[in-house]
Amino acid sequence: MKPTFVQEIERTLESLRQFEVSLERARESGAENANCQDLLVKLPSIDAQLAQILQGLQFQEEFELLRYTAMLLASVVDEDQVLSAILEGLKRALSYDAAGIFLILEDPQRGGSIIRAQKVIGYSSELISHDRFRQKVDEGILGWVIRNARGEIVDDVHSDPRYIEARPETQSEIAVPIISKSEVIGCINLESDRPAAFRPENLRLLDHLASYTAVVLDRTEMMREVLVAREIERELEIARDIQAKLLPKSGLEVEGYDIAGLNVPSLEVGGDYYDLIRISDEDVGLVIADVAGKGVAAGLVMSGLRAALRARIETVYSIRRVVADINRFLVESTGAERFVTAFYGVLHLPTGRLTFVNAGHNPPVLISGAGEVKSLAYGGPVLGVIPNAVYEQGYVDLDPGSLLVMVTDGILEAGGEAGEEYGEQRLVELVQSKRRESADQLVHRIDQEAVAYHADRGELDDRTVIVVKRA
C-alpha cells in the first residue's frame, strides 16, 4: 500500500479536479464572479505543484523499493523468499491487484517453450493450478512481451486481441521482460482491477526490478550447479576411499623374499588393481590388473573383479580355471567396450616357481640372478571380451637373486600421449641399475622415474607397480 500521506495528496488532487470541473460548468452557465475567476487562473499551477510533489514522493518510493530489493538480494539466499519480497515490496510504489513472475520453460510434451508462473500473488489458487498459468510463448500479452523483449502497458485488456483472461476482475495490465545475459528468460506482470492503472514511467521501475529478478534466478541456477558438483565430488571421494581400501596396505612379509606394491590413482577414480594374497604357507598369489577406462564405472568393475577373484582363489587351485571363470564373469557383467588386462601368478615359496596366466596384460619382466631378462606373456586374451577364450598357464623360476617387476600401462605409457612412451626398455634398464635397492624402494623409484619422464605432459593415468625379489 501507498503511505497514507500519498493517498491524502491524491485525494486532494482529485477533489481539486472536481472543483475545477464544477467551476468550469459555473463559468459556462454565466454565473462566474471575480473570485471564481481568480481561483480558476491559479488552479492549474496548484495542480502542477501538487503533481510534482506527488511525483517526487513516488520517485522516493521507487528509490526506496530498489534499495530495499538490492539489500534483499545481498542478504537473502532463498529464491522463493526474494521473489515474494520483490512482488510484495512493489506494492509500496505501485498499486496492483495481482502480480506474477513468469519463466520460459521447455516443455517437450507440448512441443516447444511455455511460460510458467514461478511466483504469483493475487490470483486464486484454483487459477494457479489451471492451465492458463502454463501458456505457450506465442500466446497472450506475456508472450508478446517475451517475443518482443520489451515492456507493454494495456489500458483496457478486454479490447486487446492478445489478451488471455486469467482473472475476471482485471481491467488493465503492465508487463516487462526479464533479461539475463541478453536473453529473455521470462517476464514480470502486474494486473489491476481499474482501467488504465499503469503509466509509462512504471515501465522503468519494473525494468529495474526485472533485472534484479534475473540476478536472483541466475544466482539460484549457479548455486544449484555448485551443489550438484559438490555432491558428485563427495561421491567420488567416497569411491576413491573405498577403492584405496581394496588394495593391500603393505607389502607381504615372506621369509626369503622381499615383496612390495604401490598404487597411485589418477585424479579420477581409477581402474588399476593389484593384490598380494597369502594362499597357503607355501603359496603367494600375485595379481596386477588394469580396467580399461577410468571413472566410477571402471572402479566398480575393479571392485567386482577383486571380489570374484578372491572368492575363486580360495576354492579353485587351477590358475587357468580361475582366469577363465573371471573372464566369463566379466563378459557377462560389462559392456563390450570395457575389458580388463590382468596377470595372475602363484609363487611357490620353497622352490621359487611362479605359475601364471597373462590375460592381455603388458608382460611382467623377470631378471634372473645372472641378469637374464624374460617377458612373461604366456596366457590368453584380455578379460571380458571373448566369451569362451582359452587361457594357458606358463611357468618360470625365480632363482636366488632374481627380481620380478610388474606394472600397469600408466607407467609404460607415461609421456606417450605427446611423444615417445616411457616404455619397457627404460623400465628394465632402471631396475637393472638399481637392483640392490629393496622392493619398497624400487616400486617408489619406478613410479618417480615414470612421473619425471612424463613431466608436465597432461594428466597421468593410474600407476601400479609390484616388485618381488628373491634373496
Partner 1 sequence: MKLKSEKHGNIVVIELKGKIMGGPDAAIFRDELKSHLDAGVKRVIVDLGKVDWMNSSGLGILIGGLTTVKNEEGEMKLARVTEKIKSLLMITKLVQVFDSYDSVEDAIASFAG
Q: Which of 119, 294, 306, 470 binds partner 1 (CB under 8 A)?
A: 294
Whole-angstrom Cα distance, residue 421 to residue 304? Answer: 30
Rounded CA-CA distance 460/417 in Å is 10
Determine which residue in the list 13, 127, 292, 451 makes contact with partner 1, applying CB under 8 A: 292
| Residue 377 makes contact with partner 1 by CB under 8 A | yes
Q: Which of 97, 173, 258, 290 touches partner 1 by CB under 8 A?
A: 290
Q: Which residue, 41 or 336, is less far from partner 1 as judged by CB?
A: 336
Q: Which of 58, 263, 327, 341 binds partner 1 (CB under 8 A)?
A: 341
Q: How far is the CB of 452 from partner 1 (least distance, A)?
A: 20
**Mutual orientation of helices 79-90 and 34-75 as an angle, nearest 10°?**
170
Buried b (16+ CB within 10 A) or exposed e, 395-421: ebebeeebbbbbbbbbbbbbbbeeeeb
- Residue 418 in grid coordinates: 605427446
In 3D, which of 212, 214, 192 has the Cα closest to residue 62? 212
Regarding 320 and contact with partner 1 (CB under 8 A), the answer is no
274 binds partner 1 (CB under 8 A): no
- Minimum Å gap between C-beta 469 and partner 1 is 25
Q: For residue 161, count CB atoms less than 10 angstroms from its CB and return exposed for 0-12, middle for 13-18, buried for 19 or more.
A: exposed
Segment contacting partner 1 by CB under 8 A, of 71-79, 157-165, 198-206, 336-344 = 336-344
- Beta-sheet pairing, 353-359 with 379-380: parallel
Residue 283, all three cell numbers: 603359496
Which one-letter amino acid corresponds to residue 117? A
Tell me how far, at minimum, the Cβ of 299 lies from partner 1, in Å.
14
**Distance in Å, CB of 265 to partner 1, minimum:** 16
Nearer to partner 1 among residue 84 and residue 333 (C-beta): 333
Compute the C-alpha angle 284/285/287, nearest 5°.
145
Q: Which of residues 451-470 bind partner 1 (CB under 8 A)?
A: 461
The CA–CA distances, whole Å, from 3 to 7, 44, 259 equal: 7, 25, 85
Residue number, 292 or 316, with CB nearest to partner 1: 292
Q: Name the minimum Å distance from CB 274 to partner 1.
A: 16
Which window, 55-63, 250-258, 316-324, 355-363, contacts partner 1 (CB under 8 A)?
Answer: 355-363
| Residue 422 binding partner 1, by CB under 8 A | no
CB 323 within 8 A of CB 342: yes
By CB under 8 A, is residue 409 in contact with partner 1?
Answer: yes
List residues near partner 1 by CB under 8 A. 290, 292-294, 335-339, 341, 359-363, 377, 379-382, 385-386, 409, 413, 416-417, 461
